[in-house]
Structure 1
Amino acid sequence: MENVVTKTQAKHADIKDMSFERALKELESIVTRLEKGDVELEESIAIYERGEVLKEHCDRLLRQAEAKVEKLTFAADGSPKGTEPLDP
């Protein structure tokens, strides 16, 4: 199974350089096409696989962004005193 995932990701290597916004837009387009149901079976499978890789890419970018977000902390007098990790 791992080999199939690796081959699918290699097939869609262009995704790794996409911004979150671009990847999400393409993923939404794929979902719309699949929901309409007017795509032939072979193409449905191909775009579904691409959608999976896009979803994983978006998830990874979101996790990276969440790791960078910090919450400002303030002293009793209201002055900023530092940051701490944001609890989602």
Structure 2
Amino acid sequence: MSEKAGKLTFEEAMVQLEEIVEKLEQGDVPLEESINLYQQGMKLSKLCHTKLKNVEKKMDTIMHEDGREEPFVIQEEGH
């Protein structure tokens, strides 16, 4: 992942990921560009996942420091 991508906020990464998905869904992107967009999208997806996991860990720590025994769990949509 590029250094620039690592500095993106979660929101910035999500916006870029949504733009990539829109381009790929249009279906008129040349094959080579599609592959590059897919790779960029996977990197952005991984970045977002990592940022969410880090937030989950921080929230778990905060909840534990607050005297609560129950871990903080993020419920995924649709589950």
TM-score by length of 2: 0.76
Judging changes above 3 Å, is the alpha-carbon distance between structure 1 residues 60 and 35 closer, same or farther for their aligned structure 2 residues? same
In 2: Cα distance, 1:68 partner to 1:50 partner: 27
Deviation at 1:13, TM superposition (A): 3.1
Q: How many residues align?
A: 71
Counterpart of 1:33 in structure 2: which amino acid? K
Q: Which residue of 2 aligns with 1:77?
A: none
Cα deviation for residue 24 of structure 1 reads 0.5
Larger Rg: 1
Write the letter of the residue equivalent to 1:37. Answer: G
**Partner of residue 52, structure 1:** 42
Between the aligned partners of 1:62 and 1:83, the Cα distance in structure 2 is: 21
CA contact (8 A) 2:10 2:51 kept: yes
% identical aligned pairs:
38
Once the two structures are TM-superposed, the CA of residue 28 in structure 1 deviates from its matched residue by 0.6
Aligned to 1:65: 55
The aligned residue for residue 67 of structure 2 is 82
Letter in 1 for 2:68: T
Unaligned runs of at least 5 residues, structure 2: 75-79
> Helix, strand or coil: the match of 1:39?
coil
What runs of 5+ residues in structure 1 fail to find an aligned partner? 1-8, 74-80
Cα RMSD of the aligned pairs, angstroms, is: 2.1
Shift of 1:72: 5.4
CA shift at 1:87, angstroms?
3.7
Aligned partners of 2:37, 2:73: CA distance in 1, in Å? 35
